[in-house]
Homo-oligomer: A and B are copies of this chain.
């Protein structure tokens, strides 16, 4: 079967080069006569992969030596717990959270295990259809946590607040997709399975000077400082996911970095939102000003057209367009690796629904 147009929300499309190189590495890694799946993580063949996978993140985000990068297992969901373990003070710990969707709410839930959590603003009252804006983060918080992009609702933070504490951001679904001043953030984490690589590894990029200040005795696997000290080899890392992540980031670096990706992503989003705004058969779930460049969540204005539309996009070789089960409708994810040609095919299909 020929290649599909893959709009999956994650795990999602990666560059074809990543598939080809990583498949080859499984058969014979770098011509050493061994598979990437069977070599020691401490071998001279894999250690440079981990080193470069850590270094390339800092190059792409334009961060200096005051930041460290580690790769961990457990997904962003484990980071919901690790962030407060590492940043919330053991005595009278207190953190501020912005509630912009399901994943933000999940992060809030885990932080409550370790201390006081104040939700400074929430858009839950309108089913997360917008990004709250007029809120203040007061003094006395150990950190402020936000979620840059909300895959389910199709909203994205366009700016980030100035806060009088550490700024922590879950960038799982839009990291490496747009130019930001990443030095504004003290801790960024991201499950790899969108713009970074395949499922099975999570990247954490942290400003070193915010660690070690909680007075908390942190269990080993949950301790960022230990992972940093061990250069992301505290225990056996997810070797293949880290390697495929490196390939994905090398592909990004070789194709103009984040700035060039942003231009491509804006063109894809403009094309699709343009069709939604033009075509009375479709509408988005969220406020226009908060629309995500990564996940376009939309619905039919006339539900009786559902069968016709579903048959049409499936016939066009489109995959992964169903909306999240909690919201329904459709969701077109326009991650870095999705070519604009796939968006053109989708727009043509949408244009045919009258």
A1 beta carbon closer than 8 Å to chain B: yes
Residues from chain B with a CB closer than 8 A to the CB of A9 are 40
When distances are taken between beta carbons in the complex, the residues of chain B under 8 Å from A217 are 113
Identical subunits present: 2
With A1-B32, A14-B38, A73-B238: A201-B199 Cβ-Cβ less than 8 Å:
no
Tell me if A353 counts as interface (CB < 8 A to partner B).
no
Contact of A18 with B by CB under 8 A:
yes
B77 engages A221 (CB within 8 Å): yes
Closest to A81 in B: B219
Tell me whether A75 is interfacial, beta carbon within 8 Å. Answer: yes
Give 10 closest A-B pairs by Cβ, nearest first.
A200-B238, A73-B73, A1-B33, A77-B235, A73-B74, A23-B26, A37-B198, A23-B23, A199-B239, A74-B74
Q: Give how many A residues have a beta carbon under 8 Å from the other chain's beta carbons.
A: 68
A sample of 7 cross-chain residue pairs with beta-carbon separation below 8 angstroms, ordered by A number, consists of A6-B38, A10-B236, A73-B74, A74-B221, A75-B236, A199-B237, A199-B238
Chain B residues, Cβ within 8 Å of A191: 236
Residue-wise interface mask of A (200-241) relative to B, using a CB-CB cutoff of 8 A (1 in contact, 0 not) = 110000000000000001011110000000000011111111
Instruction: With A77-B220, A220-B77, A235-B76 as known contacts, state yes or no: A35 contacts B19, CB within 8 Å.
Output: yes
| A28, A217, A234, A317: residue with the most chain B Cβ atoms closer than 10 Å | A28
Listed residue (A77, A81, A317) with the most chain B CB atoms within 10 angstroms of its CB: A77
Interface flags, A95-132, vs B, CB<8A=1, else 0: 00000000000100110010000000000000000000
A34–B81 CB distance below 8 A? no
Q: Which of B2, B32, B198, B235 interacts with A239 by CB under 8 Å? A: B198
Residues of B within 8 A of A72 (CB): 73-74
Question: Do B244 and A241 have beta carbons less than 8 Å apart?
Answer: no
With an 8 A cutoff between CB atoms, is A47 at the interface?
A: no
In the bound complex, how far is the Cα of B19 from the Cα of A39, in angstroms?
13
Minimum C-beta distance from A154 to chain B (A): 17
Given contacts A3-B33, A14-B37, 7 further A-B contacts (CB under 8 A): A22-B37, A37-B244, A72-B74, A73-B200, A74-B78, A109-B220, A110-B219
Q: Which residue of B lies closest to A199 (CB)?
A: B239
- Contact indicator A200/B78 (Cβ below 8 Å): no
- Among B18, B39, B75, the residue within 8 A (CB) of A11 is B39
* A193 located at the interface, meaning its Cβ lies under 8 Å from any Cβ of chain B in the complex: yes
CB-defined interface of A44-86 with B at 8 Å, one 1/0 digit per residue? 0000000000000000000000000000111111101100000
**Selected contact of A221 from candidates B35, B81, B219, B220, CB within 8 Å:** B81
Determine whether A270 belongs to the interface, using a CB cutoff of 8 Å to chain B.
Answer: no
| A307 at interface by CB-CB < 8 Å | no
Within 8 A of B (CB), among A165-211: 191, 193, 198-201
Q: How far is the CB of A15 from chain B (nearest CB, A)?
A: 10
Flag if B4 contacts A34 (CB, 8 Å). Answer: yes
